Chains A and B, each alone.
Chain A
Amino acid sequence: MKNKLSRLTIPYVIWMALFVVAPIIMVVIYAFSSADGGFTLSNFAKMGTYAVVFTRSFKLAIIATIICLLIGYPVSYIMSKEGPRFQRIAMVLIMLPMWMNFLLRTYSWMSILENNGLLNQLFQKIGLIALYNNIFGTDIQFFRMINTQGAVVLGMVYNYLPFMILPIYSVIVKMDNSLIEAARDLGANTFNVFRRVILPLSLPGVLSGITMVFVPSVSTFAISKMLGGGTELLLGDLIEQQFLGGAYNPQLGAAISLVMMIIVVICMVVMNRFGEGEEQAVMM
């Protein structure tokens, strides 16, 4: 019986081998190859040139993750305390944008944030821009919003927020209410119930939320291209350029990908350690 069932996993194993394991191996091989196919470390030697891009990518991804956490945790918490009807509606509202194509969503943000986009037109209509000019003695026609780091972070937060909310929500909503009652019974006020019971118990959800927001944020290229206007080059853009752009150099692209992957893995390991440590720290 067990053998028969385990046979069902064969297609998946083949799939994984072909489309996950093999490409990673290819990335590793490419990263250590020169253009003519020989072994070389020169791809990694160039990495220093791109330190700025690495720093910027990680900085923006960290900011986006923190904002997602600050918005996502309270939303998940409040949602889980409401009635089932509220929860269903809120869940649909959170998922709704994800039913639309990712690029389409990001394009809409372009037309909202553009110099003569929706927001700037609105500001003009309500006289906000004139007011700004009066106060600061400037003479601007619009607020510059698109093609800034802020716009890129906004795009990341907008696109990845559901990935923060869902895991945290699912952990909190499953939490046994009698644990909270027990804490109250033992003398904990609302703050202590949260700090000593709800927060430590929701940590696994927080950790997976952070992972699910941080990893796609750090490697995104569409968002920075569309909302950052290419001026704020991120790792994703850099890698894309090596494979598809004018700077065609797949060996270098593979090396950058590999370094990024390693940094992300290190970040995750440290995060999970920190998570376990936090659990201990709460007990102190």
Chain B
Amino acid sequence: MSKELIRLRDVCMAFDDELVLDHLNLYFNDKEFLTLLGPSGCGKTTTLRIIGGFATPTSGDVLFDGVRINDVPPYQRQINTVFQKYALFPHLNVFENIAFGLRMQKRPDPNDPTGKRMAKIPEEEIRERVMEMLEVISLKGFEHRKPDALSGGQQQRVAIARALVNKPKVLLLDEPLAALDLKLRKDMQIELKRIQQQVGITFIYVTHDQEEALTMSDTIVVMDKGTIQQIGTPEDIYNEPKNAFVADFIGESNIIDGVMLRDKCVKMYGREFPCLDGGFAENEPVDVVIRPEDIDIVPVEQGQLVGTVTNVTFKGMQYDIIVDFKGFKWLIQTTDHSPVGSRIGIKIDPDGIHIMKKSQYSGMFGDYSSFSEEYDELDDASLAPDEEESGDEE
């Protein structure tokens, strides 16, 4: 078990009268890749800025290794940040950009027996460490280029190197991949994870892209409206979402009203379905989550439910089909083609059904009635950089 490094205790943040963070309690372990995930304006960037020292919480404490650091300025924290738009210094070349932090550092002079005199880092060591970093980010030979002569992905890697060369205990990353195209983003996800394992420090990563979060993280913190919705491993978050918000935000979900008859048995559409969940009150109304890939299409007579196909979209690996079950539309992902208008039966295995307690989010998500529009929105959201949130940073 790795040890706790940073803790946020009862942190609140308000801009004017708007509460952006609402009594946040959160801790970060050493050497962990943790992702703060949520939609624009959920408070994830603000959380990051508080840890980095660029914002002071309205109330609550920030602890680093058990010491309160609320009032410690950014340059005295063992934390470095990779900014959303890289923020490379345009007047310095790659080498000098990476060396910037080292040139700012002073440490006890090794030639001074009293150990009180401070000295700059010698030029040879700076050179050595920068070159080492260039190797880590695979940009050797680029040291004399100015940032504007680099591609987006290269600038990104320089920004990471510039932060890592200072050997921080924590690296904060604020949507660092948002400005890259899809292919590059996927490569960089793997690259980032590799770098994190190589240098062995804590990464705190902010994104609104659920796929990015699932790919890289050890732990995901799902946030909405300034509060934490769920903390867990990617598998936990995907398989056992705590409420309709999380289920909808991570992947695709059909969320149906149901009633828990007894342990391991839920009733929806007037039918009983076996499931694996328990611990609910008898006849407690619940939200039932069924992932589109956990639904099997069967002949009508064998189906637990029977519905009509209303829309088919070819997605390459699978078809996304929309099926109307008594007015509520489900998304089903299948490799078999079913024509629009056909009647199909479906079957759901007990482990494909996940039961959630009712929450403030119940009834807001999980219906695919407005399928096509919603799909467009999702695509847009994953491509557009998180502008709205950077707006509330002033």
Contacts and interface: CB of A to CB of B under 8 A. Distances in A.
B124 to A, nearest CB: 16
A188 interface: yes
A282 B91 contact: yes
Interface stretch (B72-80, B232-240, B311-319): B72-80
B111 to A, nearest CB: 22
B307 interface: no
Given A187-B101, A187-B166, A201 B90 contact: yes
A176 B85 contact: yes
Contact of B89 (A184, A192, A197): A197
Nearest to A189: B75
Contacts of B90: 179, 201
A176 B87 contact: yes
Chain B CB within 10 Å — which of A178, A179, A182, A184 has the most? A182
B100 interface: yes
A140 interface: no
Interface string B166-184: 1000000000000000000
A118 interface: no
Contacts, number: 65
Contact of A182 (B83, B91, B96, B166): B83
B81 A200 contact: no
B392 to A, nearest CB: 14
A186 B75 contact: yes
B162 interface: yes
How many residues of B sit at the interface, in one of the four size bands?
20 to 34
B104 A179 contact: no
A185 B80 contact: yes
B58 interface: no
How many residues of A sit at the interface, in one of the four size bands?
20 to 34
A182 B104 contact: no
A184 B83 contact: no
B75 A201 contact: no
Nearest to A279: B91
Given A185-B74, A186-B162, A178 B80 contact: no
Contact of B100 (A181, A186, A201): A186
A196 interface: yes
A197 B90 CA distance: 9
Given A186-B162, A187-B104, A196-B100, A181 B92 contact: no
Interface in B77-131: 79-81, 83-85, 87-93, 96, 100-101, 104-105
A189 B105 CA distance: 10
B91 A187 contact: no
Interface string A163-207: 000000000000010110111111111001000110011000000
Contact of B75 (A176, A179, A184, A283): A184
B21 to A, nearest CB: 19
B54 interface: yes
A186 B85 CA distance: 16
Nearest to B79: A185
B220 to A, nearest CB: 25
A279 B92 CA distance: 9
A188 B104 contact: yes
B52 interface: yes
A192 B104 contact: yes
A178 B87 contact: yes
A189 B73 CA distance: 9
B203 to A, nearest CB: 15
A189 B83 CA distance: 19
B159 to A, nearest CB: 8
Contact of B87 (A181, A200, A201): A181
B87 A182 contact: yes
Contacts of A282: 91
A183 B91 contact: no
A263 B246 CA distance: 71
A188 B75 contact: yes
B74 A184 contact: yes
B104 A181 contact: no
A187 B166 CA distance: 9
A181 B83 contact: yes
A204 B275 CA distance: 69
Nearest to B73: A184
A283 B126 CA distance: 14
B91 A185 contact: no
A179 B53 CA distance: 15
Contacts of A182: 81, 83, 87-89, 162
A197 B75 CA distance: 15
Given A187-B104, A200-B91, 18 more contacts: A179-B90, A181-B81, A181-B87, A182-B81, A184-B75, A185-B53, A185-B54, A186-B101, A186-B162, A186-B163, A187-B75, A187-B101, A188-B75, A188-B100, A197-B89, A279-B91, A283-B91, A283-B96
18 contacts: A176-B87, A178-B84, A182-B162, A183-B89, A184-B74, A185-B79, A186-B75, A186-B80, A186-B100, A186-B162, A187-B105, A188-B75, A192-B104, A201-B89, A279-B91, A282-B91, A283-B91, A283-B92
Interface of A: 176, 178-179, 181-189, 192, 196-197, 200-201, 279, 282-283
Query: 6 closest Cβ contacts across the A-B interface?
Result: A187-B104, A186-B101, A178-B87, A182-B87, A187-B75, A184-B74
